[in-house]
Amino acid sequence: MAEVLVYVDHVDGAVRKPTLELLTLARRIGEPVAVALGNGAADTAATLAEHGAVKVLTHDAAEYADYLVVPKVDALQAAYGAVSPAAVLVPSSAEGKEIAARLALRIGSGIITDAVDLEAGDEGPVATQSVFAASYSTKSRVSKGTPVITVKPNSAAVEAAPAAGAVEALSVTFSEKATGTKVTGRTPRESTGRPELTEAAIVVSGGRGVNGAENFAIIEALADSLGAAVGASRAAVDAGWYPHTNQVGQTGKSVSPQLYIASGISGAIQHRAGMQTSKTIVAVNKDAEAPIFELVDYGVVGDLFDVVPQLTEEIKARKG
Amino acid sequence: MSLRIVVTVKYVPDATGDRHFADDLTVDRDDVDGLLSELDEYAVEQALQIAEEADDAEVTVLTVGPEDAKDALRKALSMGADKAIHVEDDDLHGTDAIGTSLVLAKAVEKAGYDLVISGMASTDGVMGVVPALLAERLGVPQVTLLSEVSVEDGTVKGRRDGDAASEQLEASLPAVVSVTDQSGEARYPSFKGIMAAKKKPVESWDLSDLDLDAEEVGLEGAYTVVDAADERPARTAGTIVKDEGEGGKQLAEFLAGQKFI
Ligand SMILES: Cc1cc2nc3c(=O)[nH]c(=O)nc-3n(C[C@H](O)[C@H](O)[C@H](O)COP(=O)(O)OP(=O)(O)OC[C@H]3O[C@@H](n4cnc5c(N)ncnc54)[C@H](O)[C@@H]3O)c2cc1C
Ligand SMILES: Nc1ncnc2c1ncn2[C@@H]1O[C@H](COP(=O)(O)O)[C@@H](O)[C@H]1O
């Protein structure tokens, strides 16, 4: 059976959920061979093996942390050379897309970004994409070279599928260009204790209607009652009420949770672009004409300062 | 020595209008209103600011696109760019990201550059990969997705706010930079700017000017194929209730029914 290269997104050895989803998709096409780079690379092996990796290629070097993107492209290309895979799958983060694109160019292949589903096809893997702010769904294929495809978080279920997961050291020679862009400083994001926005099963978002940074406590309380991540519209972010890392939409994060709750958000096309593929959508807005209501499974026309705290209390009461 | 900045800008269908696919499953660019991709306005803005800081600089805006893409160039010129290059050729129809980066790389090289500035993503394709591809092709550093950027003494510095961390980046020129919508509001063209733009030079290049063959670009040269594009079925109309004092509880009831509580 053909091998499929899977690029591993991990933080110091802790594998992030979208990579496990990639393993599920990779198994539809062939045998997953994982590539883990940087600090803690070898620590990823056990988790990757549990989810279907037949092999885990690892390599660590200071270059991965000290220089932008290119060292990782060099390593992925080395893995590609070692394995000759049927496809290369990469998680659709900003960095993942850049790595995938440069690899595709180097190996003379086409690239598809932001797939939301992947199936095996007669002429290679078929990717489903959601385009024009999710108003269209497309099926596409790479027609030249080895398909390089990046996949969005929450595109498949994480499945246990124990495999050998044999760790092999990858041999990497960095290119001359690897050290072109130096990382001179790094401030890790502070953990909020809440789930990662793109990975969360439930997202609770607030917009301009929240009307102030301090009022976001109402949104956070609802999120915490549901174990959810917190999102924000660009209007709320631009006003300085919530960090940009939490922005949902075209220029923020694209989310696809089981449940999305929008409060005080009108539902502009750029916001919809980042949340329209959510399974269940709920909104609270005092304007019955707000476009967000066109998307909802359940909507409450009302003041969020009344509705949201009542909802939070009720959830807490029901959960006991 | 003059600092030569080339800004890559894309002409895209208006996101607030009705966007669709043409019969050959390419993005329909004929029957829709188009404009300069809003995310590329941020690139023009940063280019103008960097040029204002430098003693001597020239800002060229470059687009690859159909006839109407001139509108995008005009807008950038009226914001303050000095000149424009329009790469236009019938054989470009259907070019994908790999092909676009090839055409842009050839054009940038022909124009001459110290710094290329791109937007974070185009608002139609939203791939966010062309700047990285361009850097790979040109063999120069990629300093992308910056929410803050500055150029001094032949070095570009910037801040990239990533998922896990915020990084400070640094590279020597020449380099390819892309900026996000957090980099600073783009200016509005002034009346004077709009008038001045009419007299600014716009060069037109076709594939032969760039020593490119038709087979390398367009639908034929594309590395990807779209087999189907279907309009997503409208979401089934949901239940909408007016809050009469029990809205939160009603919502909780719905969520419990869906097993979220
Ligand atoms: C290139 C580009 C990229 C963009 N990218 C993004 C993006 O990534 N994400 C994004 O979100 N936007 C993005 N936008 C902006 C987008 O167009 C909208 O401006 C933005 O989404 C509006 O945010 P909002 O819904 O919070 O605010 P508004 O549109 O002002 O809506 C606020 C809503 O709150 C309601 N409200 C007010 N008070 C209350 C109350 N007490 N109780 C209940 N409801 C109340 C109002 O009825 C209204 O519907 C982008 C725009 C451009 C041009
Ligand atoms: N046809 C084009 N002409 C000029 N610039 C482009 C074109 N396509 C993409 N770009 C540039 O590349 C950036 C990222 O585009 P994309 O990778 O398509 O999302 C855009 O913001 C533009 O700066």
User: In terms of C-beta density within 10 A (0-12 exposed, 13-18 middle, 19 or more buried), how is residue A320 classed?
Assistant: exposed
Residue B1 has pLDDT above 80, yes or no: no
Residue B39 beta carbon below 6 angstroms from any ligand 2 atom = yes
pLDDT band at B163 (very low <50, low <70, confident <90, very high): confident
In the stretch 286-315 of chain A, residues with CB closer than 8 A to chain B read: 288, 293-303, 306-315
Element (H, E) at A66: helix A63-66
Cα–Cα dist A56/A53, whole Å? 7
Given CB atoms, is A320 within the 8 Å cutoff of chain B?
no
- Cβ atoms of residues A92 and A153 within 8 Å: yes
What is the reported pLDDT for B126?
A: 79
- Residue A190 in contact with partner chain B when CB distance is under 8 A: no
In this prediction, what percent of chain A has a pLDDT beyond 90?
A: 95
Beta strands in A98-165 (DSSP E): 111-119, 126-131, 136-142, 148-151
Q: What is the pLDDT of residue B164?
A: 83
Q: Quote the ipTM score.
A: 0.94
Instruction: List the single residue in B101, B140, B223 with the smallest CB-CB distance to A145.
Output: B223
Q: Which residues of A touch B101 (CB under 8 A)?
A: 105
Q: What is the pTM of this model?
A: 0.95
Q: Which residue, among B35, B130, B133, B136, would best test binding to A if mutated, counting the most A CBs under 10 Å from its CB?
A: B136
Atom of ligand 2 nearest to the CA of B127: 19
CA–centroid distance, residue B94 to ligand 2 (Å): 14
pLDDT tens digit sequence for B178-214 = 999 999 999 999 999 999 999 999 999 999 999 999 9
Q: Of A250, A162, A42, give the one whose Cα is nearest residue B120.
A: A250
Contact list in A for residue B162 (CB cut-off 8 A) is 94-95
More confident residue, A305 or A273: A305
Please write the tens of the pLDDT for every residue from A171-205. 999 999 999 999 999 999 888 899 999 999 999 99
Cis status, amide bond into B174, omega within 30 of 0 = yes
Minimal-distance CA residue to ligand 1 atom 23: A235
Using DSSP bridges, classify how beta strands A148-151 and B3-8 pair: parallel, antiparallel or unpaired. Answer: unpaired
